[in-house]
Amino acid sequence: KKADAPKPKTASLLSTMTLDTITWEDALRLLSLPRTLGTDSQTGEDITVQNGRYGPYLKRGVDSRTLTSEDQLFSLTLDEALEIYSKPKERRRGVAKPPLKELGMDPATQKPLLVKDGRFGMYVTDGETNATLRRGDTVEALTLERGLELLAGRRAWEAENGGASRPKKSSRKKAAAAPKETTAKASTAKARAPRASKSAPTLTKNTIKKGTAKKPAKKTATGKAKVKADE
């Protein structure tokens, strides 16, 4: 049998990449992952940086730590990784995805504007208000001015509609159980109803005749016998 041919190496695109914008250099960098940073002198285990299903992370044996930015996949050093591992691991239900891009500070609120990837697509946020990117907006081309414009439009919509939109509760009601209850009650009543006692025997014409019938009278001596006695 021929030896199985080695499978070609694959890598997932970063959240900021598309098939139309990725370059040859980008592809080679992605295929270089996972990247080994070095060995932890205390544990003797290698520390690698990898891009997983939920974003970039560090791995040392069975201990993994989430990274905050995809750029750290290629820029993080061994010393920085050791510093991360020197801190206690945070136990959280879910880990927030790192921002796709930082647009800058909002001059009015002095809050940073970030571009993130959410459940319903990419959006810009200042930590309080979220505005979905419109058709034609791209992460690479998005500017601070455009982000402020999107947030202003979102705030105006919320003010007009009485606050942020919330998911509507389902108006579907449960089917009424009345027919089943009625059937159950009818069955119960039927089960509880006393059984009818046996009816008294009905008198019939045949019964009356049978009860009143008289025994036949004994036959009297024949006339012939009577004559003989007289003689």
**Could you state, in order of their start, the residue ranges of all structural domains in the chain?**
24-86, 101-161
Residue 227: pLDDT band by 50, 70, 90 thresholds? very low
Residue 152: pLDDT band by 50, 70, 90 thresholds? very high
- Give CA–CA dist 22/147, Å, rounded: 24
- Give CA–CA dist 138/20, Å, rounded: 12
- Give CA–CA dist 47/39, Å, rounded: 6
Q: Residue 166 has what pLDDT?
A: 53
The answer on pLDDT for 189 being more than 60 is no
Angle at CA of residue 205, ends 199 and 211, nearest 5°: 85
pTM of the complete model: 0.40
The model's pLDDT over 35-77, given as tens digits with 9 standing for 90+, comes to 999 999 989 999 999 998 888 999 999 899 999 888 899 999 9
- Give CA–CA dist 68/84, Å, rounded: 11
Residue 98: pLDDT band by 50, 70, 90 thresholds? confident
Mean per-residue pLDDT, 126-145: 90
- Give CA–CA dist 48/33, Å, rounded: 9
The rounded Cα 97 to chain-centroid distance in angstroms is 21
Q: Residue 123 has what pLDDT?
A: 92
